[in-house]
Amino acid sequence: MTAFATPSFFFREAALQIDAEKERQALGDRLPAHVGIIMDGNGRWATKRGMPRAFGHRAGTERLRGIIRLSSDLGIRALSLYAFSTENWKRPKAEVDALFGLFMEYFVNEVEELHTNRVRIRVLGDVEGLPANVGAAVRAAEKKTAENDGLRLNVALNYGSRAETVRAVQSLAREAASGALSPDAISEETLLSRLDTAGLPELDLLIRTGGEQRLSNFLLLQAAYAELAFVDTLWPDYSDELYMDTLRDYARRNRRFGGLK
Ligand code: IPE
Ligand code: IPE
Ligand code: MG
């Protein structure tokens, strides 16, 4: 039985095409432990249909359920989703408001089911800078699911890799200034342990949908040796099958980490 074979999932998405257990056995340890996704292309998806951009964001949110469920059923340990960047505040207020409305809806409607399926939620990014209701909702979701042992689902909200690095460096500097930490004792591990992704497996695969080939300030340090996959499909059209194709492509890659293999 798959982790997500609950009645509510069955009724909402009856036509599950992919046999996750079969795929899991076929790919085995060639599956990534940690997948990051830059979910790009919602706006263009809506514009192509003559609809407002917010319509695309809603369609994009609809895709989350399938991708999260498949990741969980495949036994992927961590999934990090880029939902709102520190740069996205530059967008018109109406679009930002629509996005935060959707995030609220998502956290209110989906957390119970994620919890049932043992998903553990963490928010990456500056939670203090989020609207108060969104901040409270994400903290509540983290708290509720903190003891779960299933998929580690990380939602990057008000996230920027440079801002995250600044926060990490500030925390190290504060500790050094207090005398509790010697600057010479700061290692790569020390720095990584202060990032929002502390304690998660190394990022193995970073996917960007929507056709752009850039990282847009997402997980820059964590991606040091990640495999990159740039997919032309707009996020709302990125189906379970296409995700599976990306994972199969990843499984065929030869990762050398600077050595010879
Ligand atoms: C990604 O889709 C979602 C967010 C950035 C919140 P976009 O809104 O960037 O969609 P495009 O790139 O304009 O099509
Ligand atoms: C990256 O997409 C951010 C998210 C998907 C949340 P953007 O659409 O904001 O990135 P740019 O502006 O094209 O680099
Ligand atoms: Mg975009």
Adjacency order of strands within the sheet including 120-124: 120-124, 152-159, 78-85, 34-38, 205-208, 227-230
Residue 104 · residue 133 · CB < 8 Å: yes
Ligand 1 pocket, mutate which of 40, 53, 134 (most atoms under 8 A from CB): 40
User: 14: pLDDT confidence band, cut at 50, 70 and 90?
Assistant: very low
- Would you mind telling me the total number of residues written for the chain in this entry? 261
Q: Kindly report, residue by residue over 203-216, the tens digit of the pLDDT.
A: 999 999 999 999 99
Nearest residue (by CA) to ligand 1, atom 13, is 43
Which residue of the set 29, 42, 88, 249 is catalytic? 88
Nearest residue (by CA) to ligand 2, atom 1, is 216
Nearest residue (by CA) to ligand 2, atom 3, is 85
- Taking the CA of residue 113 as centre, how many other CA atoms within 13 Å lie in the half-sphere pointing to its CB? 19
3-class secondary structure, 131: coil
Q: Active-site residue 217, yes or no?
A: no
What is the distance in A from the centroid of ligand 1 to the CA of 224?
24
Q: Kindly report, residue by residue over 73-117, the tens digit of the pLDDT.
A: 999 999 999 999 999 999 999 999 999 999 999 999 999 999 999
- Closest to 155 measured CA to CA, from 43, 68, 96, 223: 68
**DSSP codes, 7-67:** HHHHHH-------HHHHHHHHGGGS-SEEEEE---HHHHHHHTT--HHHHHHHHHHHHHHH
Give the ligand 2 atom nearest the CA of 87. 9
* Interval 155-184 mean pLDDT: 98
Q: Active-site residue 40, yes or no?
A: yes
Nearest residue (by CA) to ligand 1, atom 1, is 40
Residue 105 · residue 60 · CB < 8 Å: no
Q: What is the CB < 6 Å shell around ligand 2? A: 38-40, 82-85, 88, 212, 214, 216
Give percent of the chain above pLDDT 70: 94
Distance CA 64, CA 81 (A): 9
- Listed in sequence order, the residues at least 6 apart from 148 whose beta carbon sits closer than 8 Å to its beta carbon are 115, 118, 119, 120
For tokens 């969104």, the residue is: 134
**DSSP codes, 201-246:** PPP-EEEE-SS----TTSSTTTTTT-EEEE--S-GGG--HHHHHHH
Ligand whose nearest atom lies closest to the CA of 87: 2
Ligand 2 pocket, mutate which of 88, 90, 214, 220 (most atoms under 8 A from CB): 88
- List the structure tokens of 222: 């964590």
Ligand 2 pocket, mutate which of 38, 39, 40 (most atoms under 8 A from CB): 40
Q: Kindly report, residue by residue over 213-261, the tens digit of the pLDDT.
A: 999 999 999 999 999 999 999 999 999 999 999 999 999 999 999 999 7
The secondary structure of residue 150, as a DSSP letter, is S
Residue 208: Cβ within 10 Å count:
23
- 10 Å CB burial of residue 87 (0-12, 13-18, 19+) is exposed
Distance CA 185, CA 179 (A): 12
- Closest to 224 measured CA to CA, from 156, 165, 151: 165
* Interval 138-148 mean pLDDT: 98
